[in-house]
Structure formats: structure tokens, C-alpha cells
Amino acid sequence: MAERVPKAGDLLRWAAVGFHTAALLAALVVPAYAVLDAGGAFFGAGHSASLTGVLNVRRWLTLLENTGVVCGVAGLTAVVAGICLGLLAARTDMPGRRALVGAALLGACVPVYVSAVFFLSLAPTLLGFGSAALCGFLYGLVYAPLATLVLGATFRAAGRELEELALLDAGRAKVLLRVTLPQAAWGIVAVVMIVTLFVATDFTIADLLIVRTFSEECYTQYQLDHGRIGPLLTSVPVMLVLAVLLVVVERRYRLLGEDSPWEAGAKPSTLALRRWRIPAGVAAGALVAAGAGTLLVPLVLRLRPLAGLGTAVANLRHELWTTTALAALGATFVVLPAGGLAWAMARGTRLRWLVAAAIILLLAIPAPTVGISLTALLNRPGLLGAAYDSPVVVAIGYFVRFLPIGVLLLIPAVRRTPCELEWAARVDGCDWLGVHRHVRWPALRRDAVLAWLVVVILCFGEVGATMLVVPPGWETTAIRAFTLMHFGVYRDLAVLALLSIGCILLPWGGLVWLLARRRTCES
């Protein structure tokens, strides 16, 4: 009996499986190395002197308390702002709702380091150094626009039938409190989880205010003695806590499963504001304008004197071009395997649990730990050392940090594609390549562009890992700004912050166009 000769489609299939598996394992090496190296230092011999100062219960309780306060205050601030603004934008007849959504999207795109520059320029003497509550409040303001978008989508996904039944026995206000808000509990939990992940793995504002969180302590320890044992051990507790929280939230609310609450049925009814419609629109517009003006005006005033401003802008060209190129490269690294991994996770293939474990570990790893682990893995002779000495190492750091976000952004596109389309394509004679060409790729195309833009924005503002791996001569705008912030907000830093906003406007415009086009297609 003649042996079956593999077809071109079979070879491409196995090549694609190998590519996605290799990409996933390459990203998993970083958190796995951090955990194994920390565990080896903890249980191994010869590190007792190094561990004496690290394994201090009192010190870890202080870090845990500060991290909990920062994340808790940040989550509460973002949720309160998100509920108020998200409800107005998504469920009312307030004028200017689309403008409010666009402003929230722009605010969500602004990097954390730019927001920190705004805060420093507004009231540098009022910042309470060492105050975990103030640090959490500032983080909450940074992520309030993102919370507005997420909770707006949550309110749009509310069950219309349940609200209409409740309206037969109660008024609008009571239905809002007893039905609409309880239905949005899963969205509130999602916002708290998102804010906690971003805040617990970042140290930008915590470092400026000298608040000892796990991520900030990990970065500070490594900067002081460049030993990786202490920082990695410091990062393990927060990794474990965040990983457990991710598992618990997913099992409780099934945010990514087949019964995900993100899938809305009939559009919910609009809440009529009646005589409060115009005042609400004016108040929301005034709030956005006051917030933007309060932050921008002090920064613009620091551009004086205007003489030599062109030279200051020209001196920042290298950082801007470097950041743009590396952000685009890092986003491309993320999106290339993200589609296949999202399909593997959403459709329950054999890679599902590996993808889920990778997403949890990569989301939970603090940003400085990524930089420390990449340094230990790549700083050696040969090809790895060549990559470490080149700007590619920054893009690798972006890939490790934001691969799970790229996968999560593409899972909804996979779930919107009916399985029956794949079955019909196979009945019509399509092989593996044909199914991808006619079903999967068209389903992911637009969402892949949207995910690419989102990851570009995230890469543009990444500080934690980039600060530790960026090679000399390839400084990004985030690193330059973070370094200058410790000396005060002078003209160069003000120019850099405003130029960063200008660079963000392009991907923000792409997101607005894509979302508006999707809204038009759905309606």
C-alpha cells in the first residue's frame, strides 16, 4: 500500500502549529525562568547572605500593604468614575455621548508616564511622597477613561428583558439600582482586575512618590546591586496573588468562555434624562474640558521661553523615531501569533490549557521581572548576546509583556465566528489552508488591526521592562521622560510629553475609525 504523500496544506498546518507553539513557549520562558530561578535561590545553598534581607516578613508585609492600598484605591477611583461616565455615555440620551466616548478612548491611550508628567506639572509640591493612598488615587485617575469604556460596554450588554419586566413594578431609579447595576457586577469586577494588573505590575508613579510596592521594590533592588536573586524573589508573591485572582475571576464570571457576558443580545433601552439631558451634557463636557485644561495648561506654560523650542523638538527626534519603530515591531511580534493562539484557546483545541496558563503567567509577571529575566537569559555570547545588544531586545520585552493582551483582544472575534462556517467550508471541500483563507482570516482581519493599534499604544508607554534592557543609544521616549521626571518638569520634559500625545493621536484616530465602522456595520 502506497504511503500517503503530505500535501502542501498539511505542511503549512504543521508549520503554523510549530510557529504558534514556539512563540508561546518563548514567551513562557521568561516567567518560568523567574519562578525557577527564585525557587532555586530559595531552596539552594550559598545564598543565605543574599536572602537574609529579602526574606523579611516585616518587609514583605509592608510591600503587601502598600501594594494592596495602591491597587484598592486605584480600582475604587476608576470604578466610581467609570460607572458615572460609562452609564451616561452608553445608556442615556445625553448629547455629546460619542464625543465623551472619543475623549475616554484618547484618555485611555495616554501613557502612564505622560499622565505622571501632567501631575508633576500641576502640583509638584502637593504630591505626598510615601503616600500609598495618593499613589492609588493618581493611578485611578489614569485608568478612569479605560474604566469608562469597559463599563460603558458592560451597560450596553445588560439584559433588556429583565429591565423591562422590572419596569412593570418599579420606577427607573429603582430599576437602575436593583437591576442594571447588579447586572454590571461582572464588568465592575473586570475593571478592578484590569486596573489591579496594570497597577501591580507597574512602578512609574510609585517610584516617583517613593511608595514601596512589590514592583517598585523589585526595580529598586535590581538598580542598586544588579543581583537578580532578591528582585526575583520579591516579585514571586505578587505573581502568585495575581495569578490566583485571574483564575478565580475567570471561573466565577466566565469572561472568556462560551457563555461570556460580553455577548449582548437585544440592545437595552435608553434612559431618558428629560429635563436633565442638556445639563448632564454640559456637565460632562465641562468635566472633560476642565480635566484636560487643568493638566495641559501648566504643561504648556512650561514651554517658555519659546526661543529655541524648535531645537528642543529636533533634539528629541531620535527618541521619537526609535519608540515608533520599536512599538510597531513589538506590536507585529504580538499580533502574528495572537490570532492562532486566540483560536486555539476559544475553540478548545489541545493547546487551550497551555494558552490559558501562558496568559495567566504573562499577565501576572511584574514589568521589572521581565527585564531582569530577559537580561539573564540573553546576556551571553553568541546569537542571544547579539540580540541583547541590539534594540530588538526591547521589542522582545514588548512581546513578552503584551502577548496575552493581544490574544485576549482577538478572542471576541473568534467567538463571533460561528462554528458552522468552518463545517460548511469543510463540506465544500476546503482543506486546512482553505478554511483559514475563507473563514478564519476574514473573521480576524479587522480585529487584528485593532489589536495591533492597541498594542502599539501599550508599547509606546512601556517603562518597567524597557528601562532594564534598552541598549545604549536606543533610548525611547518613555525612558527619557521617566529619567527626566526625577529632576522636575522642565521644558525638555514638557516638550517630550506633548510630542508623545501627538504621536498617540495617529493610532487613536485609527481606533476611532475602526470602532465607528464596526458600529455602522452592526447597526
Domain map (residue ranges) of the chain: 17-42+305-523, 56-226+265-270+277-301
Whether 143 has a pLDDT exceeding 90, the answer reads yes
Of 185, 178, 177, 180, nearest in space to 159 by CA: 180
Q: How confident is the model at residue 78 (pLDDT cuts 50, 70, 90)?
A: very high
Tens of pLDDT, residue by residue over 392-418, are 999 999 999 999 999 999 988 888 887
The residue assigned the cell 523638538 is 313
CATH class of 56-226+265-270+277-301: mainly alpha
Whether 48 has a pLDDT exceeding 60, the answer reads no
The residue assigned the cell 460607572 is 83
Enumerate residues 6+ apart whose C-beta is below 8 A from 253: 186, 189, 190, 261
H or E element at residue 282: helix 277-301
Regarding the domain delimited by 17-42+305-523, which CATH topology (the fold level of the hierarchy) does it fall under?
Answer: MetI-like fold (1.10.3720)
Tens of pLDDT, residue by residue over 205-217, are 988 888 889 888 8
Cα–Cα separations (whole angstroms), residue 393 to 122, 387, 400: 35, 6, 11
Q: ∠271-273-279 over CA atoms, to 5°?
A: 145
Tens of pLDDT, residue by residue over 483-515, are 888 887 788 888 888 889 989 999 999 999 988
Distance CA(363)–CA(31), nearest Å, equals 10
Distance CA(279)–CA(90), nearest Å, equals 17
| Secondary structure of 434-450 as H, E, C letters | HHHHHHHHHHHHHHHHH
Q: How confident is the model at residue 49 (pLDDT cuts 50, 70, 90)?
A: very low
* Radius of gyration for the chain, computed over Cα atoms and rounded to the nearest angstrom: 24
H or E element at residue 350: none
Q: What is the dihedral sign for C-alpha 293, 295, 299, 301?
A: positive
Q: Which pLDDT does position 96 carry in this prediction?
A: 87
Cα–Cα separations (whole angstroms), residue 70 to 122, 401, 488: 21, 21, 23
> How many angstroms separate the first and last alpha carbons of the chain?
57
Q: Do domains 17-42+305-523 and 56-226+265-270+277-301 have the same CATH topology?
A: yes
User: Which bin fits 23, alpha (ψ -120 to 50), beta or left (φ > 0)?
Assistant: alpha
Of 419, 418, 422, 414, nearest in space to 446 by CA: 414
Q: Which pLDDT does position 260 carry in this prediction?
A: 67
Of 228, 212, 248, nearest in space to 50 by CA: 228
